[in-house]
Amino acid sequence: MTDLITAAQMRGIELAAITSGVVTGLELMERAGRGVVAAIFEEWPEFAQSGGRAVVLCGPGNNGGDGFVIARLLREWGWEVEVCLWGDPARLPPDAKANYERWCTFGAVHPLGEPVFEAAELVVDALFGTGLTRKLEGLEKTALALKGKSAAGFPKVVAVDVPSGLSADSGRYVGETDVDACISADLTVSFHRAKTGHYLADGPAACGRLVIEDIGLDAFCVPEEAVCLAGPNVERLQKRGDAHKFSHGHAFVLCGGVGHGGAARLAARGALRIGAGLVTLGCPPAAILENACQLNAVMLARVADGAGLTEILEDSRINALCVGPGLGSRAETRGLVRAVLLARRASVVDADGLSAFATAPADLFEVLHEACVLTPHAGEFARLFPDIAEHLSAGCTKVDAVREAAARAGSVVLLKGADTVIATPEGRACINAAAYECAAPWLATAGAGDVLAGFITGLLARGFAPYEAAQTAAWLHVDCARTFGAGLISEDLPEVLPSVLRRLHG
Ligand SMILES: NC(=O)C1=CN([C@@H]2O[C@H](COP(=O)(O)OP(=O)(O)OC[C@H]3O[C@@H](n4cnc5c(N)ncnc54)[C@H](OP(=O)(O)O)[C@@H]3O)[C@@H](O)[C@H]2O)[C@@H](O)CC1
Ligand SMILES: Nc1ncnc2c1ncn2[C@@H]1O[C@H](COP(=O)(O)OP(=O)(O)O)[C@@H](O)[C@H]1O
Ligand SMILES: [K+]
């Protein structure tokens, strides 16, 4: 599983390495610069064949120091290099200063005004990295001039560590920085481990492609509380040959009223395809006929209200519940959610099941438990956790926000998006990133979230722990969308799952 770290964790690892005496800051800077140049030549092999013209933009910290190393190395490869500096050379930190002075023996350093990108094939953004702490001002002209040129294909823009302006932690533009005042890269080269900001929010769009270079810090551990990229538990997804349907659990999905059953039917189909042994849809009596016309392998049960549900749940073989998709803002919705949660089975609370508590989130938190998974989209999240949503708008990372929400809810929380974040009340967290080579833009389609709720419910029925169910389901969901490709609608997601599973089980 790929670990992601924050800027502070990276600084901690760097400090541990330097204080241990195995490496100096200057050596790390040299390795970082070498890594960037290697990644550039790997990305554009033609650049290694013949030197061109490069502009290297250096900032006032160690990101700028990496830039001076890169300028020197490109020059060694025969490139004509123009170097611009933002700030006062006298105030550069020691390692950056050493590399600045070394560069000065080869060429000039211009103040960062409006560098001329006209004839450049390559621009290196070494302005700000993990040390950007406040709103970036004064880069507008440079950033806009660069965007105008690179939109036409040249120059290629390479960001060192992170595109300048972006927070390495949150993936958002720092402070109130305008997106036009920031650098957008074709390639971002970071070091040791990807940072959370490379995968969250605006990170993937700003980074272009992402490459992580090894700078020899593997002996210095990633902290225990590190976030990881979500992945499926492939082994657990297999079905044992000697099992029968009840060994794979019985999932129960609550359904809306007449004409509102589509969402729950999608969830039920998802739960069945992901391998729950049995799936039952519970709907109001008036909707039985409608649902019976549409379902075969999914069974049907009448559920008039919370009391009716409690009676059905006397069957202890029903071991996973899904409540919310298509339930509507009926007065009974809260009662149904409470009945589900008071049964103390593994449960997914989604969509209207969450929104029903917008005016009284504490009533929901009171009955939630550790076997639950909440699956809000951003709007539903803001209704349940308005203060945390405000922190998020103010620049808090999505990981921290979801961790805080999970701790408050006492349940696993999965906050949807291209950068889905899943966290446990204890603070474990992962990002299921539909980004870079895993982008899944066709998932932005009505009903996709209902299928995800069904996938999670199905895995809960199969005995997956809530965090593991959420993580595996979210990963499979994106992989289904990518496998199907363009033209995807949510009905396709459960149908493409068999081919995804076949591929996983090779
Ligand atoms: N960690 C590692 O293992 C390795 C790290 N390496 C490299 O070091 C980079 C981190 O270096 P860093 O810490 O010096 O930070 P960096 O991003 O250069 O910027 C800090 C400077 O910017 C300034 N400043 C901040 N905000 C500003 C604003 N809005 N407007 C204007 N100024 C602003 C800030 O000033 P201050 O806040 O102090 O006033 C300070 O002067 C990292 O990204 C990687 O490339 C590699 O060499 C190898 C291994
Ligand atoms: N641009 C995108 N890239 C990847 N996944 C996306 C994107 N937009 C939405 N999704 C995913 O699609 C699903 C949409 O769920 P939701 O917003 O609840 O919609 P609905 O209620 O119509 O089912 C979520 O799993 C979300 O993570
Ligand atoms: K940068």
Assembly ipTM: 0.97
The whole-number mean pLDDT for each consecutive block of 10 residues of the chain, a chain of 506 residues, reads: 92 96 97 98 94 95 98 97 96 98 96 82 97 90 86 92 97 88 95 97 97 95 85 94 91 96 98 98 97 97 94 97 92 92 98 96 97 98 98 95 98 98 97 98 98 98 98 98 98 98 94
State what percent of residues in the chain have pLDDT above 90. Answer: 88
For 307-342, the three-class secondary structure string (H helix, E strand, C coil) is: HHHHHHCCCCCEEEEEECCCCCCCCHHHHHHHHHHH
> What ligand 1 atom has the least distance to the C-alpha of 192?
3
Q: How far apart are CA 455 and CA 253, in angstroms?
A: 11
d(CA 32, CA 320): 49
The answer, yes or no, to whether any atom of ligand 2 lies below 6 A from the CB of 148, is no
> Rounded to the nearest 10 degrees, how much is the dihedral formed by the CA atoms of 266, 254, 467, 458?
-50
Decide: residue 398, CB within 10 A, 0-12 exposed, 13-18 middle, 19+ buried: buried
pLDDT, one tens digit per residue, over 462-506 is 999 999 999 999 999 999 999 999 999 999 999 999 999 999 998
The CATH number of 3-229 is: 3.40.50.10260
Would you say how long the chain is, in residues? 506
Nearest to 484 by CA among 473, 500, 471: 500
Q: Is the peptide bond before 163 cis (omega within 30 degrees of 0)?
A: no
> Is position 65 annotated in a ligand binding site?
yes
Tell me the three state secondary structure of residue 56.
strand
User: How is the chain split into domains, by residue range?
Assistant: 3-229, 245-504
**pTM, to two decimals:** 0.97
Q: Is 470 annotated as a binding residue?
A: no
Name the residue with tokens 């949807």. 416
Site residues for ligand 1, CB cut-off 6 Å: 10-11, 14, 28-29, 32, 59-66, 93, 128-136, 160-161, 191
* Ligand nearest the Cα atom of residue 191: 1
Residue type at 435?
A
Q: How far apart are the first and last CA of the chain?
A: 19
Which of the ligands is closest to the CA of residue 16?
Answer: 1
Domain 245-504 has CATH 3.40.190.10: no
Question: Which of 452, 477, 488 should be mutated for ligand 2, with most atoms under 8 A from CB?
Answer: 452
Q: Which of 6, 58, 128, 139 to mutate to test the pocket of ligand 1 (most atoms within 8 A of CB)?
A: 128
Q: What pLDDT score was predicted for residue 1? A: 72
In this prediction, residue 149 carries a pLDDT of 84
- Residue of 61, 41, 37, 42 whose CA lies nearest to 50: 41
Give the three-class secondary structure for 135: coil
Is the distance from the beta carbon of residue 121 to the nearest atom of ligand 2 less than 6 Å? no
The response to whether 417 counts as a known ligand-binding position is: yes
How many angstroms separate the CA atoms of 287 and 186, rounded?
52
Ligand 2 contact via 420 beta carbon (within 6 Å) = yes
Count CB-CB contacts under 10 A for residue 450: 28
Is 148 annotated in some ligand binding site? no
Secondary structure letter of residue 181 according to DSSP: G
Q: 3-class secondary structure for 245-311? A: HHHHCEEEEECCCCCCCHHHHHHHHHHHHCCCCEEEEEECHHHHHHHHCCCCCCEEEECCCHHHHHH
Question: What is the pLDDT, as a whole number, of residue 506?
Answer: 84
Pair type for strands 209-213 and 278-283: unpaired
Confidence (pLDDT) at 382: 98
> Which one-letter DSSP state was computed for residue 195?
B
Within 8 A by CB and 6+ apart from 199, the residues are 4, 171, 229, 419, 431, 433, 435
Tell whether the torsion through CA atoms of 373, 379, 380 and 382 is positive or negative.
positive
Centroid of ligand 2 to alpha carbon of 176 (angstroms)? 27
Cα 212 from Cα 214, distance rounded (Å): 7
